Amino acid sequence: MSTPILSIRQGIKRYGSVHALDDVTLDVADGEFLTLLGPSGSGKTTLLSAIAGFIRLDEGSISLRSKDITKQPPEARDFGMVFQGYALFPTMTVAENVAFPLKVRKKPAKEIADRVAECLDLVQMGDFADRLPIQLSGGQQQRVALARALSFHPQVLLLDEPLSALDKKLRADLQWELKALHDRLGVTFIYVTHDQEEALSMSDRIVILKDGKIQQEGAPGDLYNKPRNAFVADFLGKSNFIDVTVTGREGDVLSCAADGAKFEVETDAPLEVGTKTKVALRPERLRLAEPGEEFLSAKVKQVSYLGERCQVIVTHDSLGELLLSCATWKTGITPKPDLPVSIGWDKDACVLLAPE
């Protein structure tokens, strides 16, 4: 990574005895779309608030382009921010809202008017300049909030669950738009969400938080395919977890055994023979076949049809229940409760998780 635009070093924030942020160190690259992902209470919003300057870290530092901003008030930081409920000023029109950051920066009136028009066009809200926020739909308010946050060419745009109040279809549309906007403007986005789909679809990089600690960070595909621990494997998509014991190593391939099944995992993790750990298997990487065709025999317990996919729960004598996700358009067997089947997977489908 070249010089990061924003760096957080050993950030700690305590509320009583709870660590809302626990030794968080993070670099954000210039122009990146970075998502802070985690369940509620994970510290993602606290981290964003600390970056924005609404809360002060107890320990650690934040720097913007190598300049320490840890103690700066929010208005000195020059970050754009889009809030969860948009926080459009109800007494101002759409245009006045977008003009607000420019007015407080004492820009000339002509420049303000031009920039407001430009920003509203950017989010296709040019026709609504004279409306009050209350006269707009949720999606429209969201666009105005975006225009307002971008109007003063902020160094970084902070977004706090900006889509969470919208219905599913609109949310999907706006995800595309946000991503396109990011690519077009080249502004650094720091995006907070608890929605893993949102995180996967838009981000260049995802930081997964839990209990104030960074669990793992990386590109969406890397996190999805190579989760480091059970939390990441379960939070990002679904996973089947199997307790295993390491039985041997041959080059990069580690063999593990569970009660009644063997797994081979490619890893460079230095695990000794006899170590107890977990492997994760994605439901969509499991194959469903006639009995005997694959290496694990099981019985279908339940089937849930979801349109383009169907989810199947099978039971194995010693491994217990496993979740499978199969494309419904594929020819092959039609899973039904109590149907005996066999399941298998490719070698690279198994992910070894760090022992706890």
Partner 1 sequence: MGRLNEKVSYWMLVAPALTIMIVFYILPVLGIWEIAFTEPTTGVDNFVKMAESSAVKTSFVLTFRVAAITTVGCLLLGYIVAYSISNFANKFTPLMLALVILPFWVSVLIRSFSWIVLLGRSGLVNDTLRDAGIIESPLRLMHNEFGVLIAMIHVMLPFAILPMMTNMRGISDAYVKAARGLGASEWTAFWNVYFPQTIPGVMSGALLVFVLSLGFYVTPALLGGGRVLMISEYITYQIQEFLNWGLGSALSVGLLIATALVLLIASRFINLRSALLERK
Whole-angstrom Cα distance, residue 245 to residue 177?
Answer: 46
287-289: strand order across its sheet: 287-289, 340-344, 296-305, 309-316, 320-327
Q: What CA dihedral angle connects 38, 41, 43 and 44, to 10 degrees?
A: 40
How many beta carbons lie within 10 A of that of residue 29, not counting itself? 16
157 binds partner 1 (CB under 8 A): no
Please, which residues bridge with residue 288 across strands? 343
Instruction: Out of 72, 84, 155, 297, point to the residue binding partner 1 (CB under 8 A).
Output: 84
109 is a contact residue toward partner 1 (CB under 8 A): no
Residue 158 binds partner 1, judged by CB under 8 A: yes
- Measured CA to CA in angstroms, residue 267 lies from 246, 251, 272 at distances of 12, 9, 12
Question: In this chain, which of 149, 159, 199, 352 binds partner 1, going by CB under 8 A?
Answer: 149
Rounded distance between C-alpha atoms, residue 179 and residue 20, angstroms: 29
Q: How far from the centroid of its chain's Cα atoms is residue 24's Cα?
A: 17
Spell out, one character per residue from 197 to 226, where the chain touches partner 1: x when CB under 8 A holds, - when not.
------------------------------
**Span of 81-89, 198-206, 226-234, 236-244 interacting with partner 1 by CB under 8 A:** 81-89
Q: Is 52 in the site for partner 1 (CB under 8 A)?
A: yes
Asked if 75 touches partner 1 (CB under 8 A), the answer is yes
Number of residues this chain uses to bind partner 1 (CB under 8 A): 25
Asked if 85 interacts with partner 1 (CB under 8 A), we say yes
Indicate which single residue of 15, 59, 104, 167 sits in contact with partner 1 (rule: CB under 8 A). 104
Cβ atoms 84, 160 nearer than 8 A: yes
54 interacts with partner 1 by CB under 8 A: yes
List of residues 6+ apart from 232 with CB closer than 8 A:
208, 215, 216, 223
Among 2, 17, 66, 91, binds partner 1 (CB under 8 A): 91
Contact between 80 and partner 1 by CB under 8 A: the answer reads: yes
The smaller minimum CB distance to partner 1, of residues 54 and 305, is found at: 54
- Contacts with partner 1, residue ranges (CB under 8 A): 52-54, 73-75, 78-81, 83-85, 87, 89-91, 100-101, 104-105, 148-149, 152, 158
